[in-house]
Amino acid sequence: MVDLTLDQPVEHKKQQMSVRFISAGSLTLVLIVAVVTIAQYWMTRCAALDSVSAVLVEHLRAEFNLLDEYARLELSVRQDNNLTQGNNELEQANSGQRGVQPRSNLFDSSVAKVGTQLLELHRLKDLMLVSTNQKIVWRSDTAPTSFEPDEKPMMIDLLSRAYEFHATDFDFKDWRIWVRAFKNDANVVPVWTTITDDRGGVQYLVRMSVDFTAPFAEARDLAFQIMLLVTAGCILLFLVLSMSFRRGVNTIEMQERRLNHQISRLSNLLAMNKDMQRSMKTASARAVELNEQFLRRVGADLHDGPAQMIGYSVLRLNQVSDREEAKALGHEFHAVKEALEESLEEIRGISSGLVLPELAQMNLEQCLRKVVLLHSTKSQAEVAQYYSELPEDIPLPIKITAYRFVQEGLNNSERHGQAAKCRLNAHVIDHVLTVSLKDNGIGFRKSKLQSAAEGGHLGIMGLKDRIESLGGKLSINSELGVGTALKFTISLDEES
């Protein structure tokens, strides 16, 4: 019996599917948590950088304005105490240079003091004042002595008032910066801004290194909180999906068990069906052999019984044909004698047709040549024979069926088709035996087959039943005025 149940590879595939689900789920969970955490930290860090820088820049500008006002007051006091210097100096102090000159005087005289105060006031790491021609006016001790290459274009943008300030964060394309950031070790960020005069023109560029430890620490803590929340949510979602996946696997296993049960039943039915087909085929083959034995017995009985009696009667009539009594009977005596002679000849023909030669000792080609040879002794029709790839070990029932097929076809072509030529082909392709017989007779309509069967002429229909009982197929094609073609096919494969 062929085993059609689900095999071990299916169970292995299910285990692999579970492993792939867990691996893919874990990897997806890690990726989601990592992406969300990094994105949250990055956005929070940028927001903190912008907000703190904006507030710091605003305070820094306000303090510079206060220093400017202080410079103006100090200059006004000096002018009141120095009236002897003349009206020209007073007019110069009140001229259009009022918003620029005091600040210049201030930074020329006390820029170091102002820078130190700003460093202490805002807890800056370093401070640098740069003129509009990109020259360092003043810097703290910890400030760099030169500019970075990427700071040159930024100063140009600030001078053109493209933006109010610019905070240059670390290059997070380097993974080591991320490590430092999550260790809270990447907190000092340089911030550039501008100081303007009363007319809105840029007076100085300011570079300050600001320590963002507190806001960045808050951003990191918030990122860790988001990471914990996302991790908890992903784990919960993964557990729900795992339960659904497990439920689906259980459903599949239950359906698989039912399917295996159904397949087992179908396998048993298939095996039983094959056994029944094999038994039917064996019974059909045995029936063919028994039928031939019966026909051989009937032929022998006809030959030894009625044929002998009729032959004896004809012999006796020949002995008395010269007597006066026979001559007196005249026509009636000779009619009876001729009828007995014809009956004897027909009985002998029937007997010889029923008795087959010993086919068991012949191969299929020899069997077919034998039936053609026997037919040629009583027919003038020419039979062309073509044989190809015929095996030697064809079962006896198939050889008997092929013999009867050719015998019946040749008899019909002579008796009904009035054929002068016939063509016999026999070959085996892919374990399928094909025997075909074609004549050039007058042909017939296929509707006559049914009427012939109903009228008791069972030659073709009986042959068809015999062929189909062995699993073969008989096809008949005939056309009036063209001829008749018979084809008999049967598989030589035992499984078929």
Domain locations in the chain?
Answer: 8-231, 305-355, 359-496
At residue 436, the pLDDT reads: 93
- Cross-strand bridge partners of residue 422: 383, 439
Mean pLDDT taken over the chain: 77
Q: What is the pTM of this model?
A: 0.47
Q: What is the pLDDT of residues 202-249, one digit of tens each?
A: 888 888 888 888 888 888 889 889 989 999 988 898 888 888 888 888
Q: 213-304 and 331-354 are packed helices; what angle lies between their axes, rounded to 10 degrees?
A: 150
CATH superfamily of 359-496: Histidine kinase-like ATPase, C-terminal domain (3.30.565.10)
103 closest CA partner among 92, 95, 114: 114
Q: What is the pLDDT of residues 254-302, one digit of tens each?
A: 888 888 889 888 988 888 888 887 777 676 666 666 666 666 666 555 5
Pairing of strands 382-388, 421-429: parallel
Segment 459-465 shows an average pLDDT of: 76
Helices (H), 82-212: 87-93, 101-122, 151-159, 175-182
At residue 115, the pLDDT reads: 72
In which band, very low, low, confident or very high, does the pLDDT at 432 lie, cut at 50, 70 and 90? Answer: very high
Q: What is the pLDDT of residues 141-176, one digit of tens each?
A: 888 888 888 888 888 888 888 788 888 888 888 888
Terminal Cα distance for the chain, rounded: 15
d(CA 163, CA 184): 29
Segment 348-364 shows an average pLDDT of: 67
Of 76-90, 307-321, 402-416, least confident by mean pLDDT is 76-90
Q: What is the pLDDT of residues 360-390, one digit of tens each?
A: 788 889 889 988 988 888 788 889 999 988 8
In which band, very low, low, confident or very high, does the pLDDT at 465 lie, cut at 50, 70 and 90? Answer: confident
At residue 423, the pLDDT reads: 93
At residue 320, the pLDDT reads: 61
* CA torsion, ordered 400, 403, 404, 405, to nearest 10 deg: 120
Residue whose token pair is 């096919």: 489
